[in-house]
Amino acid sequence: MTASRDPDRLIHAYIQEGAEHLQDRVYDAVRAEVDRKRQRVVIGPWRTPIMNRITAAGLGVAAVVVALVVGIQLLGPPAPGGTGAFPSAEPSATPTPSPSVASPSASPAAPPALTETFTSERYGFSILYPAGWVTRPATEPWTSGIPDFGKNDGDVIYHPTLQGDLWIMVASQPQGGKGEDQWVDDLLTELISEDFCDTPLEDVTIDGARGRECASSGAAVSAGDRGYLILPYVSGDDPAVGVTYDRAWFEEVLATVQLQPEDALDVAPSASP
Amino acid sequence: MQVGLVEQAQRGDAEAFDSLARLVGDRCLAIAVRILRDIDLAEDAVQAALITAWTELRALRDPSRFEPWLHRILTNACYAEAGRRKRWSEGLRILPGTSSDTPDDYLTVDDRDLLERALRRLTVQQRAVLVFHHYLGLSISEVAARTGLPVGTAKSRLHHATRALRASIEADSRATPHSQERLA
């Protein structure tokens, strides 16, 4: 093979070729779905609420300052010569009520107690969850990607009314010959790339199994030759929800997880890239 | 402009998302068709990826990273479509030979036939790294980001894919006297 028929050049040249125009009907189909589907917010249950607390506190302080300034101006003595900013202010004028500074963080509702038990027949674990929440066991094995509320490859426990806005998902799979650390690292790499996981990561132990926990959400641990993913989700649409179901609550849930990898239904090794 | 559209779309503006999709759709199709080697599957993958991008858009923290983020989703959509193709292989449609928008004079018809067969022998994951590297001209670390692989894995996958492709080309050229004449 001569340099002029260099296989690398052939490969490169051939990969440049191919269709490069997406048909309008595809855009139309996407648009129809977009009009029908609601956007989902994937935000760690503690990052946004923490931000909201700070923001709410800041806004509260600002509101008080504004209220004080306005109140002083309204109630204060008129400027000499009666040419003040509010010449028409009557002695009977009542102070402007200051805006409410109550914030969702001021009195967060206590999260419900974890009184119910879900035992996974597919993935080999049990977990406690609040009364009234709905369980939806996986109907398909988790073999690739990240299990999600909209998919059927994770055991999902969700809030009865908030549904896709507040849930916990657990799934497990054989490690497919990977070492414990490698499986956890690979999964976290994928979680991070999919924006499900904020760094820095922290070591975590769940029911004696070692793994890593994201700063924002989710934990991956390895038990024997089986890897587990526990992924909570709280929508940022309603900050009050995130205040109630905060990181401390998730840690409480994590502490109830019991892993029984020997009870899991084995599936083919992960096909994840 | 794209960042502004992303921000609007993140606030739920479907019109902005439609405009955004039309900005990036052609490139997505180009990537998908090169990975999947099938125009219908590629269109399905792009459609699925764009819909996923819409539902997950608020999770994108840096709007300037929209396209790499979308390509990561697209890669997964391609893997899913490839899985479907395996299950429904009897319905496989090959990439139309006339689909080339800018044919390279360097390649003959026989070259294209040989390369197409060689590419089809690769796994979809191998083709993904090849496409991101050769078609988009991305560095290994960027390829890794768009395929969700550790850098080392992306590097070795690209190496193995290229080696397999070369071997396949050489085997084909040995088996086909006509090709051998061209490549010799």
pLDDT for residue B180: 46
Task: Please indicate whether, in this complex, the C-beta atoms of A27 and B25 are within 8 angstroms of each other.
Answer: yes
Domain that includes residue A242, residue range: 114-263
**Residue A72 covered by a domain:** no
Contacts of A16 in chain B (CB under 8 A): 102, 104, 134-135
Do A144 and A257 sit in the same domain of this protein? Answer: yes
Residue B89 has pLDDT above 70, yes or no: no
Judge whether B54 is closer than 8 Å to chain A, CB to CB: yes
Q: What are phi and psi of A210, to 5 degrees?
A: -85, 150
H/E segment holding residue B116: helix B109-121
Q: How many domains does chain A have?
A: 2
Which domains does chain B carry?
A: 1-91 (1.10.1740.10), 102-184 (1.10.10.10)
B 85-144 residues inside an 8 A Cβ radius of A: 95-96, 99-104, 106-107, 111-112, 115-116, 119, 125, 128, 130-131, 134-135
pLDDT single digits (tens) B121-157: 888 999 999 999 999 999 998 998 888 778 888 899 9
Q: What is the ipTM of this complex?
A: 0.84
Q: From the list B55, B79, B95, which residue is nearest A39 (CB)? A: B55
CATH number, domain containing residue A122:
3.40.1000.10
Q: Are A34 and B54 in contact (CB under 8 A)?
A: yes
Do A26 and A119 sit in the same domain of this protein? Answer: no
Chains A, B: CB pairs < 8 Å:
161
pLDDT for residue B149: 79
In angstroms, rounded to a whole number, what is the distance separating the alpha carbons of residues A23 and A31?
A: 13
**Residue A59 covered by a domain:** no
Do A235 and A126 sit in the same domain of this protein? Answer: yes
Chain A residue with minimum CA distance to B157: A273
Q: Which amino acid is at B107?
A: L
Percentage of residues of chain B with pLDDT beyond 90: 45
Contacts of A189 in chain B (CB under 8 A): 148-150
Task: Please indicate whether, in this complex, the C-beta atoms of A7 and B59 are within 8 angstroms of each other.
Answer: no
The mean-pLDDT minimum among A64-68, A99-103, A203-207, A264-268 falls in A99-103
Do A16 and A142 sit in the same domain of this protein? Answer: no
Q: Give the pLDDT band of residue A265 (cuts 50, 70, 90).
A: confident
Judge whether B78 is closer than 8 Å to chain A, CB to CB: no
pLDDT single digits (tens) B19-67: 999 999 999 999 999 999 999 999 999 999 999 999 888 878 788 999 9
Q: Calculate the alpha carbon distances from A15 to A141, A183, A245, B120 in Å.
A: 35, 32, 49, 12
Q: Calculate the alpha carbon distances from A151 to A145, A154, B1, B154, B182 in Å.
A: 11, 7, 33, 27, 50
Contacts of A236 in chain B (CB under 8 A): 58
Task: Please indicate whether, in this complex, the C-beta atoms of A185 and B150 are within 8 angstroms of each other.
Answer: yes
Do A11 and A121 sit in the same domain of this protein? Answer: no
Do A254 and A150 sit in the same domain of this protein? Answer: yes
Judge whether A23 is closer than 8 Å to chain B, CB to CB: yes
pTM: 0.51
Do A148 and A239 sit in the same domain of this protein? Answer: yes
* Sheet (strand A166-174) strand order: A134-136, A155-158, A166-174, A226-234, A219-223, A209-213, A202-206
Q: Are A145 and A191 in contact (CB under 8 A)?
A: no
Could you tell me which residues are beta bridge partners of residue A130?
A114
**Residue A212 covered by a domain:** yes
Residue A52 has pLDDT above 60, yes or no: no
The phi-psi region of residue B15 (left if phi > 0; otherwise alpha if psi is between -120 and 50; otherwise beta) is alpha
Question: Looking up tokens 């492709």, which residue turns up?
Answer: B165
A36 CA: distance to closest CA in chain B (Å): 10
Do A149 and A22 sit in the same domain of this protein? Answer: no
pLDDT single digits (tens) B92-105: 444 444 444 455 66
